A and B are shown apart, each in its own frame.
Chain A
Amino acid sequence: MSAAAGASIVSPLLRGRMFVIDQSRCIGCEACVQACEECGTHRGTSLIHLEFVDRGATTQTAPMVCMHCEDPTCAEVCPADAIKQNEDGVVQSALKPRCIGCSNCVLACPFGVPKYFALADQMMKCDMCFDRTSVGLAPMCASVCPSQALWYGTEEDFEDTRSGELMREFRFGAQVVPTKVATVVRDRSLGPLDVPAGQSATRWQDDPFGLGESL
């Protein structure tokens, strides 16, 4: 298999490793949320998102790390030019001296990643655990994730051990967003993942326990 569709994965500081989210595997245990706040650079503050999609209907949960867009929308809309990418293309939290706390980035990010912290008056976000990845360690969330819905390794490792194909392009209406972080699709030849369109809701396994009739 050749390189996955989407942005370049050349990442000197990450030593050829990459971050993959396969949300279908998520078991909602929140180990990622708990581990994120143990990270050395933002102790006590978890920057990953973990949401129940619709707990009334399903146990499906979705973890969300920063996708590290090639052209980050958060940086584009920042009036203070406070959001920077490093030489690996990893998008950083807002620079504290520059951030004016306007939350433009929070509103604009197509993936809903940046968080505005009122007490610090600063936007903070997932930086792929730069303190760990820059010294060859896996990010905290991908280290602990029991289902490995959050995964960190080389593309060769992925192809050797995991099913599915890597996708690094997402479509939001007319906007196509290439990202550094990949997600897993069954068939990437179908093109960028159309996020707002979603997939048609199909009843699962004769739908236990939807039971057909309206409630």
Chain B
Amino acid sequence: MSRLPVTEAELIERYGPHLNLEPPGGWNHGLEIDREVETHCCFCGQQCGIKLKVADDRVVGFEPWYDFPFNKGKLCPKGVKRYLQGSHPDRLLEPLVRDPGADGGFREVDWDTALQRTVAEIQRIQGAYGKDSFALLSGVSLTNEKSYLIGKFARLALQTANLDYNGRLCMVSAGAGNKLALGADRAPNPWSDIPLAEVVFVAGANVAECAPITTSYIWQARDRGAKLIVSDPRVTPLARTADVFLGVRPGTDSALMGTILHVLIENDWLDHHFIDEHTSGFADAAAAVRDYTPQWGARTCGVPEDRIVEAARLWGTSQTGMLLHARGIEHQSKGVENVLSCINLGLATGKYGRPGAGVCTITGQGNGQGGREQGHKCDQLPGNRDITNPEHREYVAGVWGCDVDEIPGKGLTAQEIIEAIHDGQVKGLLSICFNPAVSLPDTAHTAAALDKLEHYTTIDFFLSESAQHADVVLPGSLHEEDEGTTTSVEGRAIKINAAVPPPGNARLDWEIFLDLARRLGRGQYFGYENTEQVFEEMKVASHGGTADYNGMTWQRIEDEHGIFWPCPTEGHPGTPRLYEGGVFAHEDGRGRFHAVAFREPAEVVDDEFPLWLTTGRVVSQYLSGTQTRRIGALVEQYPEPLCEMHPRLAAELGVRTGDLVTVTSRRGAMTTPARVVESIRPDTVFIPYHWPGSRAANQLTNRALDPVSKIPEYKVSAVRVARAEGHVEVRDRRVTTLQERASGGASGGWTPGDGS
């Protein structure tokens, strides 16, 4: 059973999150820097280059890496402070087994005991309920090498179909849309194309906070005269500077894009040559938007008619243009349709395969792009291959040296695995790099699932909120402790270098998987001595797939500051821009329009729940916060979730900034301070999602999934809001003096129930 072994408070007292405030040895450590290691930030898909300063095998600081071409030294606050996740007091140094009698609820054991326990439970559960009853959930903060290894481990060692990953919560809608329409799952352009665009259209992407470095690319375009269009329910920091702002109602993105397509057609702002020569399906796509007049669009999306027409004019009459979209349109039960409606705008105006022309998703997670390409997703094999395609299976079986029938079929997606636990189909779980207790929607439902498991082993470097439910916790490695590659937002494979070894008895993640495979009697498939050998096999496994790494080597990747896939042969320069000359990755070379009819989100507002809730990130936190909620300076920047609401709504509720409010959906309720701002639609509230338990925005969100991508609808829920007892100070200043530091910092922390 996987119930919390002791109270949440006891778990937190022993395992954190505690705050790391200073580098090892304090600010004035005076340590001599032994080396500066060129590597990348682990927080987000931009994968900025950074140099980590190392003294005595500890990371003690950073230095901008000016020569790395993507970011040229630039970093967001997460990158600046990323080094503080090392040498952290919460770091897990020994394997743990659940023990309600032990201090903190877990007892330290040796590796042999821990691994034998896990293996015995895998064998017991699979023996009793079948192979697929044991699932594996993974994540895309891991390198390509680990992602590949885990894909192979699940299929050949665990022999389960039920492997999925937290990229399911990230860019699967974009991936599915791109595959359907264009034939390959990658942003088609290098970011160096952004400055070449005459118009940049940012749709549902809080670039300033979630992909901060992209801001500089957009400004480079604007310095050359480009216009900026932003669609978002909030006036984000980038939207504030837009030439055209479209403040859409949550869940109406495909209606907006459909209306823009309607206006393009009405005004003949189309590239007929491109449509005729390089695409198919235009007539059906046009028919689907025949009635989507600007009047209809304005009414549906809550945006002035003339603004939609102006956006269409800018997009349709520009020779070049880049449309950048992210989770805002993708985290919906029609995420794929939203993506397809954006791609339609690119195809209709011929904005593909040229400098400064493309429709790109902005990957959210560190290795969101690479992680899924290497067969780390329930429906894919390496090289972005399809696990249901007999030829693809045959090829990968050849690389793996196994019988093709040994490779299981398509498994369940991440949220479906949670549902399968509730249904009793999945009884055991192994997880790494995934904190479902915070990151999946409807947290009460997720926690109940974790508690239903007969066995749960997790590999983690900190005791995450999910790991609190585990029977066995295996201490793994941080990003800066292992060597490998990741693939950035641009589809550029880059080199991750180890700065320090894992501390204590923590082990490298890949070594843990090898050990488990041996103990499961499947060691013959996992004879690697290092992760470079994994890469060498991975690139062969990818060969012939769309994401082809075959011509890459670690040395080349490092020497060339990254290589864009496909890179099929030795000496191939890589492919920064896809679809040159309008040749798409489908067999017929054509891009496919899709008819996208607007439909409402899974849940719409009503008398009982009259407001839209949308969720997202803040710049100082990353995903479920397992790492960033342990870094003092980042917590100080934004210590707790605030509920953003418009002054008009606040006036109706009698709420001022800092007043506690209770936000209630059909799933649950949470109480948190309000921040009253004009930068959000009056019918919408926003809460960032990085916190657990009673501070989790995902207590409220909806488990509704996109039918194709199976991404949950984080961006649209119906809620009601009421004033609660209590008020806290919410500060908007960053003037911290030594005096304030000494007295506990500038944050106005509170705990639920304080009602101060």
| Residues of chain A whose beta carbon lies under 8 Å from any beta carbon of chain B | 24-31, 33-35, 37-38, 43-46, 49-52, 55-61, 115-120, 138, 140, 143-148, 161-163, 204-206, 208-211, 215
Complex Cα distance A162/B225, Å? 10
Task: Flag if A38 contacts B80 (CB, 8 Å).
Answer: yes
B555 in the interface (beta carbon within 8 A) = no
Complex contacts, B648 vs chain A, CB 8 Å? 211, 215
Task: Flag if A28 contacts B27 (CB, 8 Å).
Answer: no
Known: A119-B739, A143-B66. A51 touches B80 (CB 8 A): no
Complex contacts, B80 vs chain A, CB 8 Å? 31, 34-35, 38, 144
Complex Cα distance A119/B742, Å? 9
Name the CB-closest residue of A to B225.
Answer: A163
Complex contacts, A56 vs chain B, CB 8 Å? 647, 657, 676-678
Complex contacts, A28 vs chain B, CB 8 Å? 208, 237, 619
Contact of A148 among B75, B219, B680 (CB under 8 A): B219
Known: A117-B739, A209-B235. A146 touches B223 (CB 8 A): no
Contact of A144 among B27, B75, B225, B657 (CB under 8 A): B75
Complex contacts, B244 vs chain A, CB 8 Å? 205
Complex contacts, B245 vs chain A, CB 8 Å? 205, 208
Task: Flag if B73 contacts A117 (CB, 8 Å).
Answer: no
Complex contacts, A27 vs chain B, CB 8 Å? 208-209, 212, 215, 237-238, 619
Complex Cα distance A138/B677, Å? 35
* The stretch of B155-163, B540-548, B727-735 that contacts the partner chain: B727-735
Known: A27-B212, A28-B208, A143-B73. A34 touches B81 (CB 8 A): yes
Known: A118-B738, A144-B74. A55 touches B675 (CB 8 A): yes
Complex Cα distance A120/B64, Å? 29
Q: Report the minimum CB–CB distance from B244 to chain A (whole Å).
A: 7
Task: Flag if A211 contacts B77 (CB, 8 Å).
Answer: no
Task: Flag if B223 contacts A162 (CB, 8 Å).
Answer: yes
Q: Report the minimum CB–CB distance from B715 to chain A (whole Å).
A: 18
Known: A38-B61, A56-B676. A146 touches B76 (CB 8 A): yes
B222 in the interface (beta carbon within 8 A) = yes
Complex Cα distance A171/B608, Å? 55
Task: Flag if B73 contacts A146 (CB, 8 Å).
Answer: no
Known: A119-B739, A209-B247. A59 touches B73 (CB 8 A): no
Complex contacts, B222 vs chain A, CB 8 Å? 163
Task: Flag if A31 contacts B739 (CB, 8 Å).
Answer: no
Complex contacts, B662 vs chain A, CB 8 Å? none
Which 10 residue pairs across A and B have the least CB separation, nearest first? A27-B208, A44-B27, A146-B212, A52-B732, A43-B27, A27-B237, A34-B80, A34-B77, A143-B64, A50-B734
Q: Report the minimum CB–CB distance from A77 to chain B (whole Å).
A: 20
Task: Flag if B732 contacts A51 (CB, 8 Å).
Answer: yes
Q: Report the minimum CB–CB distance from A164 to chain B (whole Å).
A: 9
Task: Flag if B679 contacts A31 (CB, 8 Å).
Answer: no
13 additional contacts (CB under 8 A) given A59-B239, A205-B244: A27-B215, A27-B619, A29-B76, A31-B212, A35-B80, A49-B735, A55-B732, A120-B738, A146-B75, A146-B212, A205-B242, A209-B646, A215-B651
Which of B28, B61, B657, B734: most chain A CB closer than 10 A? B734
Task: Flag if B213 contacts A30 (CB, 8 Å).
Answer: no
Complex contacts, B61 vs chain A, CB 8 Å? 38
Complex contacts, B81 vs chain A, CB 8 Å? 34
| Residues of chain B whose beta carbon lies under 8 Å from any beta carbon of chain A | 22, 27-28, 61-62, 64, 66, 73-77, 79-81, 208-209, 212-213, 215-216, 219-220, 222-223, 225, 235-242, 244-245, 247, 304, 307, 619-620, 633-634, 637, 646-648, 651, 657, 675-682, 732-739, 741-742
Name the CB-closest residue of B to A164.
Answer: B223
Name the CB-closest residue of A to B81.
Answer: A34
Complex contacts, A140 vs chain B, CB 8 Å? 64
Q: Report the minimum CB–CB distance from B51 to chain A (whole Å).
A: 11
Contact of A59 among B240, B646, B676, B738 (CB under 8 A): B240
Q: Report the minimum CB–CB distance from B334 to chain A (whole Å).
A: 24
Task: Flag if B247 contacts A208 (CB, 8 Å).
Answer: yes
Task: Flag if A57 contacts B678 (CB, 8 Å).
Answer: yes
Complex Cα distance A27/B742, Å? 28
Complex contacts, A118 vs chain B, CB 8 Å? 737-739
Complex Cα distance A80/B244, Å? 53
Complex Cα distance A49/B736, Å? 9
Q: Report the minimum CB–CB distance from B77 to chain A (whole Å).
A: 4
Task: Flag if A209 contacts B682 (CB, 8 Å).
Answer: yes
Name the CB-closest residue of B to A35.
Answer: B80
Complex contacts, B247 vs chain A, CB 8 Å? 208-209
Known: A30-B619, A209-B646. A24 touches B682 (CB 8 A): no
Task: Flag if B216 contacts A30 (CB, 8 Å).
Answer: no
Name the CB-closest residue of A to B644.
Answer: A55
Complex Cα distance A29/B633, Å? 13
Name the CB-closest residue of A to B680.
Answer: A209
Task: Flag if A30 contacts B238 (CB, 8 Å).
Answer: no
Complex contacts, A57 vs chain B, CB 8 Å? 677-678
Complex Cα distance A2/B75, Å? 32
Task: Flag if A25 contacts B219 (CB, 8 Å).
Answer: yes
Complex contacts, A145 vs chain B, CB 8 Å? 74
Complex contacts, A144 vs chain B, CB 8 Å? 64, 73-76, 79-80
The contact sample of 22 A-B pairs, CB cut-off 8 A, is A27-B208, A27-B209, A30-B620, A33-B637, A34-B80, A34-B81, A43-B27, A51-B734, A56-B657, A56-B677, A59-B236, A59-B239, A117-B737, A117-B739, A119-B739, A119-B742, A144-B74, A147-B215, A147-B216, A205-B245, A208-B245, A208-B247
Contact of B237 among A33, A43, A46, A59 (CB under 8 A): A59
Q: Report the minimum CB–CB distance from B213 to chain A (whole Å).
A: 5
Task: Flag if A138 contacts B73 (CB, 8 Å).
Answer: yes
Task: Flag if B216 contacts A146 (CB, 8 Å).
Answer: yes
Complex Cα distance A52/B642, Å? 16
Complex contacts, A161 vs chain B, CB 8 Å? 220, 223
Q: Report the minimum CB–CB distance from B736 to chain A (whole Å).
A: 6
Contact of B679 among A59, A61, A143 (CB under 8 A): A59
Task: Flag if A58 contacts B678 (CB, 8 Å).
Answer: yes
Q: Report the minimum CB–CB distance from B517 to chain A (whole Å).
A: 41
Task: Flag if B737 contacts A115 (CB, 8 Å).
Answer: yes
Q: Report the minimum CB–CB distance from A184 to chain B (whole Å).
A: 11
Known: A30-B77, A31-B75, A59-B235. A147 touches B676 (CB 8 A): no
Complex contacts, B619 vs chain A, CB 8 Å? 27-30
Contact of B77 among A24, A31, A117 (CB under 8 A): A31
Complex Cα distance A114/B735, Å? 11
Complex Cα distance A163/B227, Å? 13
Complex contacts, B633 vs chain A, CB 8 Å? 34, 37
Complex contacts, B651 vs chain A, CB 8 Å? 215
Complex Cα distance A37/B642, Å? 26
Name the CB-closest residue of A to B657.
Answer: A56
Contact of A29 among B73, B208, B735, B738 (CB under 8 A): B208
Complex Cα distance A105/B1, Å? 64
Task: Flag if A45 contacts B732 (CB, 8 Å).
Answer: no
Task: Flag if B79 contacts A208 (CB, 8 Å).
Answer: no
Q: Report the minimum CB–CB distance from A160 to chain B (whole Å).
A: 10
Task: Flag if B62 contacts A38 (CB, 8 Å).
Answer: yes
Name the CB-closest residue of A to B679.
Answer: A59
Known: A56-B677, A209-B680. A147 touches B240 (CB 8 A): no
Complex Cα distance A91/B682, Å? 47
Q: Report the minimum CB–CB distance from A140 to chain B (whole Å).
A: 8
Complex Cα distance A58/B75, Å? 24
Task: Flag if B678 contacts A33 (CB, 8 Å).
Answer: no
Task: Flag if A44 contacts B677 (CB, 8 Å).
Answer: no
Name the CB-closest residue of A to B682.
Answer: A209
Complex Cα distance A14/B583, Å? 50
Complex contacts, A148 vs chain B, CB 8 Å? 74, 216, 219
Q: Report the minimum CB–CB distance from B310 to chain A (whole Å).
A: 10
Complex contacts, A59 vs chain B, CB 8 Å? 235-237, 239-240, 677, 679
Known: A24-B241, A59-B235, A209-B247. A51 touches B733 (CB 8 A): yes
